[in-house]
Amino acid sequence: MRLLLTLLAFLIATPVAAERIRDIASVQGVRANQLIGYGLVVGLDGSGDQTTQTPFTTQTLQSMLSQLGINLPPGMNLQLKNVAAVMVTASLEPFARPGQTIDVTVSSLGNAKSLRGGTLLLTPLKGADGQVYAMAQGNVVVAGAGAAGAGSSVQVNQLNAGRVPAGATVERAVPSPFMTAESIRLELRDTDFDAARRVAEAINSHWGLGTATALDGRVIDVRAPQSPNERVAFLAQLEALPIESIAPAAKVIINARTGSVVMNQAVSVQPCAVAHGSLSIVVSATPVISQPEAFSQGQTVVAQQADIQMRQDGGNLMMVPAGAQLADVVKALNALGATPIDLLAILQAMKAAGALRAELEII
């Protein structure tokens, strides 16, 4: 009993968990930019594109060779097995400067069997504005492995995609208004008016009233120093400011493809009665052989005799009390014997009846 009281006193005395501003918000404009490019991977061990089915691989190779001063005879049919056309993608991190290196992902565009052991040729990577921001080249690292022989094959992981670590060099920096704007703006990851109010109050209590203003349920405008060194130090302190944990909104997430159902602890229900039953139809076919009489010159005929049975299992009516929390909701639905697929229909019906106090989101 003494141990139980000590544990209870410890739990009561435990302070309320706090979150940092950086955990729920980000600085507007400080984000990564996606880059994409088209290139060739060479040096494959006979696992490249079949050029008869992927003519763009041959066209790309001819264009590259012509730029290098090699002119092929017109109409020449190239049969290549160690070349593959690929798409190259990368993420340009914020404040990246020319000369820095970034990782790139290489994915087969044609029907190459494997990119293992290949080398990516010089590929320009462009942004959404069409400008070249990086150049990629290097050996492709593929995590998969495979083997085939005598009509049998085995494969581990994906062989048609790989990475080139530090395979791209940044050639152009993305302009950012971070250092030139008079103020900075924080963007909450989820729209929440209470969270926006708490963030603004935490900033004003630390630097003085008027430093931060909540513009809406997602954006907070913050006055910041103009000197780059002072602004960086200011943001470092701002992101580390603690705020009280914000209770999440009651939400039920349903994945209609897999039947997965996830609900948080804020989900509750109003008084309701739920009944669940299932209807099953079984169709069976039995072959019936019709044998002709002797010397009748008839033929043996095989027919199918169908048997259809319909059965409906009785559903139990389960009373769910008001104010039930997550554990009570799960226990009541499990008592009905509902499968995850049946649970989708039950939760949707409870929401339509106004008994489910939660936002229902289907993904």
Which domain covers residue 129, as residue numbers? 33-170
Domain membership of residue 54 (yes or no) is yes
Q: Categorize the per-residue pLDDT at 8 as very low, low, confident or very high, splitting at 50, 70 and 90.
A: very low
Residue at which a domain ends, from 170, 185, 202: 170
Domain membership of residue 13 (yes or no) is no
In tens, the pLDDT along 124-150 reads 999 999 999 999 999 999 986 655 554
In tens, the pLDDT along 164-183 reads 999 999 999 988 877 778 88
Instruction: Specify the DSSP class assigned to residue 15.
Output: P
Residues 40 and 156 in one domain: yes
pTM for this prediction: 0.68
Output the CA–CA distances (angstroms, integers) from residue 225 to 96, 178, 196, 236, in the order listed: 23, 11, 22, 13
Residues 43 and 126 in one domain: yes
Question: What DSSP line would sit under 78-134, residue for residue?
Answer: ---SSEEEEEEEEEE-TT--TT-EEEEEEEE-S--S--TT-EEEEEEEE-TTS-EEE
- Which distant-in-sequence residues (6+ apart) come within 8 Å of 33 by Cβ? 91, 92, 127, 128, 133, 174
Q: Please state the domain count of the chain.
A: 3
Residues 69 and 196 in one domain: no
Nearest to 238 by CA among 223, 257, 250, 252: 223
Domain membership of residue 150 (yes or no) is yes
Report how far apart the first and last C-alpha atoms of the chain are (Å, whole number).
48
**From CA 120, how far away is CA 43, in angstroms rounded?**
9
24 near 189, Cβ under 8 Å? Answer: yes
Residues 211 and 273 in one domain: no
Q: What is the pLDDT of residue 9?
A: 43
Domain membership of residue 115 (yes or no) is yes
Domain membership of residue 19 (yes or no) is no
Domain membership of residue 1 (yes or no) is no
**From CA 82, how far away is CA 30, in angstroms rounded?**
41
Antiparallel, parallel or unpaired: β 359-362 and 251-255? parallel
Residues 183 and 207 in one domain: yes
Amino acid of residue 314: G
In tens, the pLDDT along 33-88 reads 999 999 999 999 888 888 777 888 888 888 888 888 888 777 666 767 889 999 99
Residues 129 and 186 in one domain: no
